[in-house]
């Protein structure tokens, strides 16, 4: 069980991170996005103290966070096995469980050594990304839809295309909420609505804009 949050507002981000602690306190990760390109990442075992461990940078455009409950009694905390997960062009945070991760590893990503199923999502996005040039919004949407089509199980995802720091969110089975101020959270706030399944949303000037559908195979609601 995990919680994911995102906000363009520092204070709101900290409040939502605290609210989502009930989703897990084993590991915490924060991704701070600059206005056009560039980012900073912080990962820690346990909870973040925003007064001591990580003082957020007010010059950043957007803040994304992830809290995680222990998923395996056999695996301890590690930087590479904690959210957010990165490839050259993509970053993701994920709440949910992929049920076909073994199949994906065997057929699509035989050289991926990270044991966490969430890491495969970023790798799939990267595998289908053209090697040259910056993708436009339509191309990003196409890559995201192709990647999501391969996933079975449950997910609530924040997906960042790093060359332009473009943020998308999607949901299949797992819970995710948004408001009209550019925020998203697993735990619902007073002015938040549930994200419809099977729809890709993009952040556009601090508003969530519906981009289009993706092929969804939701098995059940994963709380």
Residue 188 lies in a domain: yes
**Domain count along the chain:** 1
Structural domain boundaries, residue 38: 2-213
Q: Read off the pLDDT band of 131 (50, 70, 90).
A: confident
Distance between CA 198 and CA 216 in Å, rounded? Answer: 5
Q: Which residues contact 156 (CB under 8 A, 6 or more apart)?
A: 4, 94, 95, 96, 169, 170, 171, 172, 174, 175, 176, 186, 195
Cα–Cα distances (Å) from 81 to 4, 25, 27, 161, in that order, read: 16, 15, 10, 20
Distance between CA 162 and CA 174 in Å, rounded? Answer: 24
Residue 219 lies in a domain: no
Torsion-angle region of 115 (φ positive above 0: left; ψ -120 to 50: alpha; else: beta) = alpha
Residue 37 lies in a domain: yes
Residue 115 lies in a domain: yes
CATH number of the domain where residue 18 is located: 3.60.20.10
Residue 59 lies in a domain: yes
Distance between CA 101 and CA 68 in Å, rounded? Answer: 19
**By C-alpha distance, which of 89, 86, 58, 55 is closest to 164?**
89
Is the model's pLDDT at 31 over the cut of 90?
yes
Residue 223 lies in a domain: no
Tell me the mean pLDDT in the region 124-142.
95
Against a cut of 0.85, is the pTM above it? yes
Identify the pLDDT of residue 97.
Answer: 95
Q: What is the pLDDT of residues 80-120, one digit of tens each?
A: 999 999 999 999 999 999 999 999 999 999 999 999 999 99
């Amino acid at each position: 069980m995990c919680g994911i949050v995102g906000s363009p507002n520092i204070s709101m981000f900290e409040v939502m991170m605290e609210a989502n602690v009930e989703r897990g306190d084993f590991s915490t990760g924060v991704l701070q996005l600059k206005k056009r390109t560039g980012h900073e990442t912080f990962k820690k075992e346990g909870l973040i103290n925003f007064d001591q461990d990580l003082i957020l940078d007010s010059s950043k455009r957007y803040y994304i966070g992830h809290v995680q409950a222990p998923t395996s009694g056999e695996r301890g905390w590690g930087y590479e096995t904690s959210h957010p997960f990165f490839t050259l062009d993509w970053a993701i945070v994920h709440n949910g469980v992929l049920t076909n991760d073994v199949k994906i590893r065997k057929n699509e990503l035989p050289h991926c050594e990270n044991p966490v199923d969430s890491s495969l999502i970023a790798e799939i996005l990267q595998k289908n990304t053209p090697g040259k040039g910056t993708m436009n919004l339509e191309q990003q949407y196409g890559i995201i839809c192709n990647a999501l089509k391969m996933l079975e199980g449950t997910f609530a995802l924040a997906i960042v295309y790093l060359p332009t720091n473009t943020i998308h969110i999607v949901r299949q089975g797992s819970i995710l909420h948004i408001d009209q101020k550019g925020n998203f959270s697993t735990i619902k706030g007073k002015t938040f609505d549930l994200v419809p399944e099977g729809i890709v949303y993009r952040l556009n000037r601090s508003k969530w804009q519906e981009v289009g559908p993706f092929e969804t195979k939701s098995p059940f609601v994963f709380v």
